[in-house]
C-alpha cells in the first residue's frame, strides 16, 4: 500500500484530487452521472438529517435538501438550518462530504493507493477557524491532513517546477466562491509569493444575478404569486433549484458560438412555469463590474509587488470562472495574449487532452507535489512590529521573522516591547510585513493586536507561534495585569509564504 499524501483542492463549487505516482502527477477520476470527470461538485444532499447524496448526484436528485458552498459555513459554530426542520453543524456536513471523497478515491483503484493522508489547500483569506474546522472534518472522516497550502501558492508551484528561470509570475484563480490572486518570484531555487490578495466573489454570485433576473421576470409574468423574488431565492429547495438552472444557463450562453440560453422549468412552483431567456450581452453587462474589479485586484497586487505589468510573465489562469470569454478577453487586453497561460505543461498520458494539463487542476496537483517533495515553507517577506524609532519622529520596523527564514512550528518566539503610551489602558501591537527593506523601510501595517495593560505598565511580553494551519498566533501580556491567553490571542493567517524548491524536484517537468 502506498502511503503518499493526496492533494485536495476543496473548492466552493468543486473539489479536485491529485496524487504523484512516482513520475508524474495524476488527477483522480470520478465516475458519476456525467461519465468520467475530474472534479466533484462540493455539494451534499440531505433527507431529514441524513446525508444521502454527494457531488453530482446531490445536484441532480429531486427530493433532497442540497447544501452547497459548505466551505464558507465552516467558520460558524452554530448549526445550519436545513429548512426541513433539521439543523446540522457545518463541520458534520463537511465530514460527510470527505467520507464520500475517501470512497471516490478508494473506488478509483489507483494502484492500491488509499486516501489516508492529504495536503489540502485554502483561499488566502480563509478564516482561521475555518481552517481548523476543515482539518477536524477531514480527520473525522479518517483523512490525516499533513500539509495546508494557500491555493495560489499551490497553483504556482506547478509552474515553478516547470520553469526554473528567474521570473515574476501571477496567478488569477477565479472559482465559484472566490477570486485569489498572487504574484510569485521564481529565483535561486525558491518560489516566493510576493503579494497576494483576494475577493470573496465568484461564479456563484453570477448565478445569483441570473437567477434574480429570472425571478423578477417570473414575478412580472405572475403578479398574483405571494412570494417576492428574494423569498423564492431564499427557499431551501426552490432557491437551489433556480441557482442550478442559472448556472447551467451561464455555461451555455458562454460556450463558443453561443450567445443566449433559456432558463426554463415547467412547474417551477406548482402550476407556474418559469421561462426566461438570458442573452450574452446582458449577462456581460451585469457581470462587467465584477470582472473589472477582479482585474483591478490583480493590477493592484502587481503594483504592490513593485514590478511593471510588462514584466509579469506568465499570468496563470485558473478556476472555472476564467472560462467566461469576457474574463479572458479583458486579461489578454491588459497583458497581451502570449502572457496568459491556460494550460499546464504536463504531458502525462495518451488521452487527447490529459486532465493534468488543465489549469483548473493546478491547485490540487501543486498541493500533491509540494507535499510529496517536502517543499519547505519559508517567509517571503519580513514580519515584524512597528515600534517608535530612536529619534522619536520616525517609526521603525523590528523584525520577528525574516524573509527566507524557514517556518519553525516547534519553537515559538518571545519578545519584549516597551510601552510608549499607557494612558488608554491598551498597548497596540502593530504587526507589519516588509517585502523590500529599501522600498518600505517601516513595512506595511497588516494587523493591530490590542493588549489590555495596567496604566503603570512599562513593557509587554509577546509570544509569536506558527501553527500547522499556516497561521501566526500572537499572544501578549503586560507584567502587572496579566492578560489571559484566551483574551488576547490573535491569529494572522494571510502570511506571505514561499518555498524552497527541493533539489530533486527541480526541472523535473521541464518541457
Ligand X SMILES: Nc1ncnc2c1ncn2[C@@H]1O[C@H](COP(=O)(O)OP(=O)(O)OP(=O)(O)O)[C@@H](O)[C@H]1O
What does the DSSP 8-state code read for residue 358? Answer: B
Q: 20 with 26: CB under 8 angstroms?
A: yes
Residues of span 198-257 touching ligand X by CB under 6 A: 202-204, 247, 250-251, 254
Residue 197: which H helix or E strand, with range? Answer: strand 190-199
Quick one: which segment of 125-133, 229-237, 320-328, 340-348 binds ligand X (CB under 6 A)?
320-328
Nearer to Mg ion, 14 or 496 (CB): 14
Return the one option of Mg ion, ligand X, none that residue 250 interacts with (CB less than 5 to 8 A, by type): ligand X
Residue 120: which H helix or E strand, with range? Answer: strand 117-122
**How are beta strands 395-401 and 382-388 bridged, if at all?**
antiparallel
Return the one option of ligand X, Mg ion, none that residue 214 interacts with (CB less than 5 to 8 A, by type): none
Name the minimum Å distance from CB 353 to Mg ion: 20
Nine-digit cell string for 339:
502572457
Which residues, 6+ apart, have CB-to-CB distance to 103 below 8 Å? none
Q: 383 with 411: CB under 8 angstroms?
A: no
Beta-strand runs (E) in 373-458: 376-379, 382-388, 395-401, 413-418, 426-434, 444-452
Characterize 391-425 residue by residue with b for buried, 16 or more Cβ atoms within 10 angstroms of its Cβ, and e for exposed: eeeeeebebbbebeeebeeeeeeeeebebeebeee
Output the residue with the shortest Cβ distance to Mg ion: 175
Residue selected from 304, 323, 442, 468 as contacting ligand X according to rule CB under 6 A: 323
Report if residue 443 touches ligand X, rule: CB under 6 A: no
Question: What does the alpha-carbon distance between residue 412 and residue 405 come to, in Å, rounded to a whole number?
Answer: 14
Report if residue 11 touches ligand X, rule: CB under 6 A: yes
CA triple 265-270-273, angle to 5 deg: 30
Name the minimum Å distance from CB 175 to Mg ion: 3
Report if residue 314 touches ligand X, rule: CB under 6 A: no
Report if residue 324 touches ligand X, rule: CB under 6 A: yes
Nearer to Mg ion, 73 or 433 (CB): 73
Which residues, 6+ apart, have CB-to-CB distance to 239 below 8 Å? 232, 233
Return the one option of Mg ion, ligand X, none that residue 488 interacts with (CB less than 5 to 8 A, by type): none
**Count of residues touching ligand X (by CB under 6 A):** 22
Name the minimum Å distance from CB 247 to ligand X: 5
Q: Is 165 exposed, middle or buried (0-12, 13-18, 19+ CB in 10 A)?
A: exposed
Report if residue 476 touches Mg ion, rule: CB under 5 A: no
Nearer to ligand X, 362 or 370 (CB): 362
Report if residue 196 touches ligand X, rule: CB under 6 A: no
Residues of span 148-187 touching Mg ion by CB under 5 A: 175
Residue selected from 294, 314, 319, 355 as contacting ligand X according to rule CB under 6 A: 319
Residue selected from 11, 90, 152, 239 as contacting Mg ion according to rule CB under 5 A: 11
Strand order of the β-sheet with 167-174 is: 340-341, 312-318, 167-174, 179-187, 190-199, 497-500, 376-379
Beta bridge partners of 9: 16
Residue selected from 14, 183, 371, 381 as contacting ligand X according to rule CB under 6 A: 14
Binding mask 347-386 for ligand X (x = CB under 6 A): -------------x--------------------------
Report if residue 13 touches ligand X, rule: CB under 6 A: yes
Name the minimum Å distance from CB 206 to ligand X: 7
Binding residues for Mg ion, rule: CB under 5 A, are: 11, 175
Binding residues for ligand X, rule: CB under 6 A, are: 11-14, 39, 175-178, 202-204, 247, 250-251, 254, 319-321, 323-324, 360
Amino acid at each position: 500500500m502506498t502511503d503518499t499524501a493526496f492533494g485536495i483542492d476543496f473548492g466552493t463549487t468543486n473539489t479536485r484530487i491529485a496524487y504523484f505516482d512516482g513520475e508524474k502527477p495524476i488527477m483522480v477520476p470520478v465516475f458519476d452521472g456525467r461519465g468520467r470527470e475530474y472534479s466533484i461538485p462540493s455539494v451534499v444532499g440531505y433527507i431529514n438529517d441524513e446525508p444521502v447524496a454527494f457531488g453530482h448526484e446531490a445536484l441532480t436528485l429531486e427530493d433532497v435538501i442540497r447544501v452547497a458552498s459548505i466551505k464558507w459555513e465552516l467558520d460558524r459554530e452554530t448549526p445550519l438550518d436545513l429548512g426541513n426542520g433539521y439543523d446540522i453543524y457545518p463541520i458534520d456536513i463537511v465530514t460527510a462530504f470527505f467520507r464520500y471523497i475517501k470512497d471516490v478515491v478508494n473506488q478509483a483503484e489507483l494502484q492500491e493507493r488509499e486516501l489516508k493522508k492529504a495536503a489540502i489547500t485554502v483561499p488566502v483569506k480563509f478564516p482561521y477557524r475555518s481552517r481548523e474546522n476543515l482539518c477536524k472534518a477531514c480527520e473525522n472522516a479518517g483523512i490525516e491532513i499533513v500539509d495546508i497550502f494557500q491555493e495560489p501558492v499551490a497553483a504556482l508551484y506547478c509552474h515553478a517546477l516547470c520553469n526554473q528561470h528567474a521570473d515574476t509570475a501571477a496567478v488569477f484563480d477565479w472559482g465559484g466562491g472566490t477570486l485569489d490572486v498572487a504574484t510569485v518570484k521564481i529565483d535561486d531555487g525558491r518560489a516566493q509569493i510576493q503579494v497576494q490578495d483576494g475577493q470573496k466573489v465568484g461564479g456563484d454570485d453570477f448565478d445569483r444575478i441570473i437567477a434574480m433576473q429570472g425571478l423578477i421576470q417570473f414575478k412580472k409574468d405572475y403578479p398574483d404569486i405571494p412570494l417576492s423574488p428574494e423569498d423564492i431565492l431564499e427557499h431551501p429547495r426552490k432557491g437551489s433549484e433556480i441557482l442550478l438552472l442559472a448556472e447551467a444557463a451561464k455555461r451555455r450562453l458562454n460556450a463558443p458560438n453561443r450567445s443566449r440560453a433559456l432558463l426554463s422549468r415547467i412547474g417551477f412552483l406548482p402550476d407556474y412555469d418559469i421561462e426566461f431567456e438570458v442573452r450574452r450581452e446582458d449577462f456581460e453587462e451585469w457581470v462587467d463590474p465584477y470582472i473589472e474589479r477582479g482585474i483591478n485586484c490583480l493590477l493592484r497586487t502587481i503594483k504592490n509587488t513593485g514590478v511593471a505589468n510588462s514584466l509579469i510573465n506568465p499570468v496563470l489562469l485558473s478556476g472555472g470562472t476564467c472560462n467566461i470569454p469576457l474574463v479572458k478577453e479583458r486579461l489578454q487586453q491588459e497583458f497581451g495574449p502570449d502572457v496568459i497561460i491556460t494550460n499546464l505543461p504536463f504531458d502525462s498520458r495518451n488521452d487527447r487532452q490529459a486532465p493534468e494539463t488543465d489549469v483548473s487542476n493546478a491547485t490540487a496537483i501543486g498541493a500533491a507535489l509540494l507535499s510529496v517533495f517536502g517543499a519547505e515553507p519559508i517567509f517571503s517577506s519580513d514580519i515584524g512590529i512597528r515600534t517608535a524609532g530612536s529619534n522619536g519622529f520616525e517609526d521603525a520596523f523590528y523584525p520577528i521573522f525574516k524573509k527566507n527564514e524557514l517556518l519553525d512550528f516547534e519553537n515559538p518566539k518571545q519578545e519584549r516591547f516597551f510601552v510608549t503610551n499607557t494612558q488608554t489602558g491598551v498597548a497596540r501591537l502593530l504587526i507589519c510585513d516588509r517585502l523590500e527593506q529599501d522600498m518600505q523601510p517601516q513595512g506595511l501595517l497588516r494587523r493591530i493586536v490590542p493588549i489590555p495593560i495596567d496604566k503603570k505598565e512599562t513593557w509587554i511580553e509577546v509570544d509569536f507561534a506558527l501553527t500547522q494551519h499556516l497561521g501566526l498566533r500572537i499572544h501578549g501580556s503586560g507584567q502587572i495585569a496579566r492578560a489571559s491567553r484566551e483574551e488576547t490571542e490573535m491569529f494572522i493567517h494571510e502570511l506571505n509564504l514561499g518555498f524552497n524548491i527541493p533539489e530533486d524536484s527541480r526541472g523535473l517537468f521541464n518541457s
